[in-house]
Chain A
Amino acid sequence: MNLPILAATALLALLSAPLSADNTHTPAPAFEPSHPWITDLDLALEQSRKTGKPILAEFR
């Protein structure tokens, strides 16, 4: 899936996300557009080991 499609999908999900009953919280999160993400777990593990950064894994 390319970035424009991802962005459009996220925007659609955000616009269609219902608010809580009391409408007091910010709607569901969307991460696009922001940083590049990698899609290979082994590469992420290796980069984490090298850089000392934790991994943020997103499922959608």
Chain B
Amino acid sequence: MSTPKDGPLGKLQEKYIRLRITNMAEVDIGVFEMDFNTTFGLFVLNHRKQVYLRYGARNDAGAETFLSIPSVAIALQRGLILHERWKAGSFTPPPAGKSKMSQTFPNVLKTVRENKCVHCHQVAEGQAVEIFALADFDKKTSPWIFPDPAKLGLKLKVDDPIVVEHSTGAAAKSGIKNGEEILKVDGKTVSTFADIQYVLHHLPRDRKELTLTTNQGPRKIALPSHWRVTDLNRRSIGHKMEPFPGFWGKPLTIGEKKKLGLPTESFATRATKFWVSTPGKQAGMREGDIVIAVDGASSSPLAVNAQVYIRLNYEAGDEITVKYLREGKTREAKYTLKAKPW
């Protein structure tokens, strides 16, 4: 599929100055701030570098969940409306973000110096290292970025994610009903799924309550515990966090857990890859083994898979006992964690 000039997206594009960034070297991520653990991003902004909206985000299901042609078209339409409102003085976009060039991250600078193309994920890796270096970094609270509105009970419509498809949990308790349109989050205008995530990302860590303004009026949501938690294994920060768990793997689906008689909240994870020297392999584990417990723990509100549980709860040098299933039998592997896979 393409977007020919005379198609709906083509016509919308004509109304914009079109800028394509294919190399993340020397990009001001203070202005273009987004979740760089994604595959695609759009920004609509004015010549003063004031961003009206952003598009392109991810959730635990993947980086494409909220990408669709209709939602791009809607975002582009909303961008034009906000631009006209800005010109008319009836919309004040947030001021341009504080400048922060991508090459301030050492890994990005290294790639630039090697004369190679810098990818978005490399910026995400640089951001992860920066988070680890925070003076108040806490493994149990700091790593989660760009939270998923689903944790607030907001299942959003893929083709127009400011529309609530299904309201549950905290959102339903606040009075939000199916079909309501979210216009503002914490007082900030939102036009896309990425906008909602962006505001949630910047909420102060100690906030207990959040106001969403919908087309039906203001709704106060009591933020549930662990509402920021997402699958860290889906982002650079989860891959960079030490120690290395001793294996690479993929969490079981709810259906797979049920089939094995495991509780749905289990962090059961199928080992998918080892290197010869990775500690799990040296302790007898093999590809296909299903990790069901670590030192007796089998679930955690902070981890949907065993790898993340290990990263969050241990340090390099710690010895752990991993319980795993192979061909219906339970086995154990005991090994010492290393900081990195090598």
Band of interface residues on A: 35 or more
Q: A18-B62, A30-B2, A33-B2 are in contact. Are A47 and B17 (CB under 8 A)?
A: yes
CB distance from A22 to the nearest CB of B (A): 9
Q: State which of A21, A27, A34 has its C-beta within 8 Å of the C-beta of B3.
A: A34
Query: Whole-angstrom distance between the alpha carbons of A32 and B5 in the complex?
Result: 10
- Most chain B CB atoms below 10 A, which of A25, A30, A33: A25
Give chain A interface residues in 1-52, CB to chain B under 8 Å.
1, 7, 10-11, 13-14, 17-18, 20-21, 24-41, 44-49, 51-52
Chain B hits for A34, CB < 8 A: 2-5, 7, 9-10, 13
The complex places the Cα of A40 from the Cα of B52 at a distance, in Å, of: 20
Of the candidates B28, B82, B87, which one forms a contact with A52 in the assembled complex, judged by CB atoms under 8 Å apart? B87
Interface size on B, residues (CB 8 A): 53
Name the A residues within 8 Å of B46 (CB-CB).
Answer: 48, 54-55
Instruction: Indicate whether A31 sits within 8 Å of B87 (C-beta atoms), given known contacts A17-B67, A26-B70.
Output: no
> Contacts A34-B13, A38-B19, A48-B17: A25 and B158 contacting too (C-beta < 8 A)?
yes
Q: Is B83 a contact of A54 with CB atoms below 8 Å?
A: yes
A57 touches B19 (CB 8 A): yes
Minimum C-beta distance from A5 to chain B (A): 10
**What distance in Å separates the Cβ of A6 from its nearest Cβ neighbour in chain B?**
8
Binding site for B on A (CB under 8 A): 1, 7, 10-11, 13-14, 17-18, 20-21, 24-41, 44-49, 51-60
